[in-house]
């Protein structure tokens, strides 16, 4: 497990949310994969990342077995967490029409870390 900063812990462990348009990966589009910031479990490929304009990194799909979905405490949204360590990533939304898969994994930049292709 990686040591987390206070703000990373607030997001990942306490299920917080970073302010929109503030994350390092919101407008970031290099080739590679995104892993859990806490345990480095592979979560998303850059191939599934798209510009949603919502203020958080958005992915139409996750790496198989990387992400777990469960009903959020508010009872209305679906929370996504790392399937390995349970760290909070964000939420998944369906039926918005952004992509062919009609799915948007809305993720906090502080919950993930980018790893360059072939690095």
Report the catalytic residues: 106
C-alpha R_g of the chain: 13
Per DSSP, the three-state class of 10 is helix
> Which DSSP state fits 6?
H
Distance CA(36)–CA(109), nearest Å, equals: 10
């Amino acid at each position: 497990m990686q040591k987390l900063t206070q703000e990373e812990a607030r997001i990942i462990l306490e299920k917080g949310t970073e302010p929109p348009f503030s994350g390092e990966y919101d407008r970031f589009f290099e080739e590679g994969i995104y892993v859990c910031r806490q345990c480095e479990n592979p979560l998303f490929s850059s191939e599934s990342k798209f510009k949603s304009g919502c203020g958080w990194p958005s992915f139409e799909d996750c790496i198989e077995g990387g992400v777990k979905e469960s009903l959020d405490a508010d009872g209305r949204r679906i929370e996504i967490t790392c399937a390995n360590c349970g760290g909070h990533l964000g939420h998944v939304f369906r039926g918005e029409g952004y992509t062919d898969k009609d799915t948007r994994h809305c993720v906090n930049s502080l919950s993930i870390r980018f790893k360059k292709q072939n690095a």
